[in-house]
Amino acid sequence: MRIAVIGTGYVGLVSGTCFSEFGVSVTCVDMDAAKIERLRRGEMPIYEPRLEGLVAANMAAGRLAFTTELAPAIEGADAVFIAVGTPSRRGDGHADLSYVFTAAEEIGRALAEQRTEGYTVVVTKSTVPVGTGREVADILRRVCPNERFDVASNPEFLREGSAIEDFMRPDRVVIGAHSDRAREVMRQLYRPLYLSETPMLFTEIETAELIKYAANAFLATKITFINEIADLCERVGGDVQDVARGIGLDGRIGRKFLHAGPGFGGSCFPKDCKALVRTAREAEASLSIVETVVAVNEARKARMADKIVDACGGTVAGKTLAVLGLTFKPNTDDMRDAPSLEILPRLAAAGCTIRAFDPEGVAEAKKLLPDLLYCRDAYETMEGADALVLLTEWNEFRALDLARVGRLLAEPLVIDLRNIYQPAEMATARLRYISVGRPSQLGRA
Ligand code: NAD
């Protein structure tokens, strides 16, 4: 089979590469010529574990190619995936669909000019509000009246940092389509997963679109719930880790996404929750839970800056903070809506100097947080700092030499917004330890 993937970002590049690994012939298209040039040279434009090796292997096997030219890429393709960005629209929080609609127009024009008389399924992989599939179909029909295509929705559930594994071994594949022919093309494309008994859910297009938003809003709600329970623990004296374990062992609740922290960020949850709220408002349906999640999460990021200031004795003016972790989560270089973007400018405005390190996020962070002092590794970051702040739980921050941390810091204070250490080990290392939703007194030196 042959496919084209439009948009070579986190989703398009991973999906295209994984489909080529399944044996499909894939052409990835992006309008960013510099990105395509880098990919052709075998350089990855993003950090994603295992991606580089898979791209190289499939390019070498002749199954994966990169281009800026959309029309030749989709000539004779069985399916064309739209995997362009759908960021929050400025002002109203709705998904900005301009990239999707532009891509649909370009695909339609190219389909109309095809030399071969084939059949193509145009698949929306981008996260798009309910009704977008219908609009994509309208655009296609307008510019390509030959009707030799169908539209489908195939939302993507991969997580940055484990994207390859998630694509290759998903919990489920959701496919929204109105025609049997489109469903059959999609079934063939996902054949390796079908054979490994991955649940395949065939739905109407509108339902598939909603499943993606409902999934993200639910996960964001779960995180926000445990974050609020963490706040309660701090007031009344519980340990949120134990509460999370205690409730998560209940099969109806589940243990995942019950880690208290500084508030969710990333390229999906914040924008998708806002877009879903917007959809509900337009439909005059109540979605107050998700509205509250958005508001609570935004307020939380700001409060985390206050928490750090409080831990530093009520002021950070003239002090130096060592910050480890800038990306919104580990194993990615993605800085979109990362809590660091809210927390660190507030601290800087309060008068402190920030020394920072992130294993993969520094290049991106420098564009967004240009005033930080970037260091080469975790320990250099701590030299002479008045406190260590752990913002992202990269593995390499999980096993710091605490005696060395104590020697490097000017003040023995560790503020861990990801709960990656135990209060008792910090107490042994004579480090004052502040974490999220757990007793902090234990760590007082
Ligand atoms: P991204 O910003 O990393 O990549 C989008 C790419 O599309 C860019 O390289 C851009 O140059 C390209 N592009 C835009 N318009 C184009 C056009 N007309 N022709 C060719 N290329 C074009 O975005 P992403 O993070 O990969 O997200 C893509 C979609 O997938 C979004 O809707 C997002 O919500 C969804 N999604 C993302 C994730 C994730 O973890 N990042 C997970 C699931 C779903």
Out of 203, 231, 252, pick the residue that ends a domain.
Answer: 203
What is the number of alpha carbons within 13 Å of residue 141 lying toward its C-beta?
8
341 and 193 assigned to the same domain? no
Q: Percent of the chain scored above 90 by pLDDT? A: 96
Nearest C-alpha neighbor of 77 from the set 30, 109, 119: 119
124 and 267 assigned to the same domain? no
- For ligand 1, say whether the CB of 31 is within 6 Å of any of its atoms: yes
Tens of pLDDT, residue by residue over 370-388, are 999 999 999 999 999 999 9
CA–centroid distance, 394 to ligand 1, in Å, is 24
Tens of pLDDT, residue by residue over 182-197, are 999 999 999 999 889 9
Tens of pLDDT, residue by residue over 200-216, are 999 999 999 999 999 99
406 and 319 assigned to the same domain? yes
Tens of pLDDT, residue by residue over 271-293, are 999 999 999 999 999 999 999 99
Out of 169, 203, 237, pick the residue that ends a domain.
Answer: 203
Tens of pLDDT, residue by residue over 336-362, are 999 999 999 999 999 999 999 999 999
Q: 121: which strand partners?
A: 79, 150
285 and 421 assigned to the same domain? yes
Question: What's the pLDDT at 445?
Answer: 35
180 and 293 assigned to the same domain? no
Nearest C-alpha neighbor of 16 from the set 49, 58, 75, 76: 58
Question: What's the pLDDT at 115?
Answer: 83
Band of residue 117 on the pLDDT scale cut at 50, 70, 90: confident
> In a mutational test of the pocket of ligand 1, which residue from 6, 11, 14, 38 has the highest number of ligand atoms less than 8 Å from its CB?
11
Chain centroid to CA 80: how far? Answer: 23
Q: How many domains does the chain have?
A: 2
CA–centroid distance, 222 to ligand 1, in Å, is 25
- For ligand 1, say whether the CB of 36 is within 6 Å of any of its atoms: no
- For ligand 1, say whether the CB of 331 is within 6 Å of any of its atoms: no
CA–centroid distance, 373 to ligand 1, in Å, is 30
Task: Look up 233 and say whether it is catalytic.
Answer: no
Q: Is the per-residue pLDDT at 165 higher than 60?
A: yes
Burial class (CB in 10 A: 0-12, 13-18, 19+), 196: exposed
Question: What's the pLDDT at 442?
Answer: 44
Q: Is the per-residue pLDDT at 53 higher than 80?
A: yes
57 and 185 assigned to the same domain? yes
Q: Is the per-residue pLDDT at 309 higher than 60?
A: yes
Question: What's the pLDDT at 440?
Answer: 64
Q: Which domain holds residue 174?
A: 2-203
175 and 150 assigned to the same domain? yes
> In a mutational test of the pocket of ligand 1, which residue from 30, 105, 164, 335 has the highest number of ligand atoms less than 8 Å from its CB?
30
Q: Which entry of 18, 144, 233, 268 is annotated as an active-site residue?
A: 268
Question: What's the pLDDT at 146?
Answer: 84
Crossing angle (nearest 10°) for helices 51-60 and 10-21: 50
The CATH number linked to 392 is: 3.40.50.720
Question: What's the pLDDT at 409?
Answer: 98
246 and 192 assigned to the same domain? no
Out of 174, 203, 232, pick the residue that ends a domain.
Answer: 203
- For ligand 1, say whether the CB of 46 is within 6 Å of any of its atoms: no
CA–centroid distance, 83 to ligand 1, in Å, is 5
Give DSSP secondary structure letters for 43-66.
--SS--TTHHHHHHHHHHTT-EEE
Q: Closest Cα to atom 38, ligand 1: which residue?
A: 11
Q: In 3-state terms, the chain is what percent helix, strand and coil (to 5)?
A: 45, 15, 40
37 and 104 assigned to the same domain? yes
147 and 232 assigned to the same domain? no
158 and 289 assigned to the same domain? no
For the whole model, what pTM was predicted?
0.96
240 and 160 assigned to the same domain? no
**Token code pair at residue 47:** 């950090």
